[in-house]
Amino acid sequence: MVRVYYSDHFKKQVKKLTEKQQVKLARLVVLLKENPFSSQLKTKPLTGKFIGIYSFRIERDFRALFKFLSQGKVLIFNIGHRKDIYR
């Protein structure tokens, strides 16, 4: 089981999501706690300047970014549309 932490920026971004997106995100965070690499999350390691950061899909165009703080600890620090989140 992985312990999940949330950045302040992430918390602000979640409030901007629709209720449907928030419900789906909550379900996905449960999956993340069980297995960060669950196939249902579609977790991908990022490359380039984002090495060490992972993304998982909330909806087709929305992603959440996270990184491992240590073994068993994850920080979700950003969420947004895929065209904006990787900038």
- Domain map (residue ranges) of the chain: 3-85
Q: Which amino acid appears at position 20 of this protein?
A: K
**First CA to last CA distance, the chain:** 31
Asked if 64 and 86 touch (Cβ cutoff 8 Å), the reply is no
Helix, strand or coil, per DSSP, at residue 75:
strand
Q: What is the pLDDT of residue 87?
A: 81
CATH superfamily name and code, 3-85: RelE-like (3.30.2310.20)
What is the model's pTM? 0.92
Question: If pLDDT is split at 50, 70 and 90, which confidence band does 45 have?
Answer: very high
What is the C-alpha to C-alpha distance for residues 57 and 43, in angstroms, rounded to an integer?
Answer: 7
What is the residue-averaged pLDDT of the chain? Answer: 95
What tokens appear for 81 in the block?
Answer: 């549309």
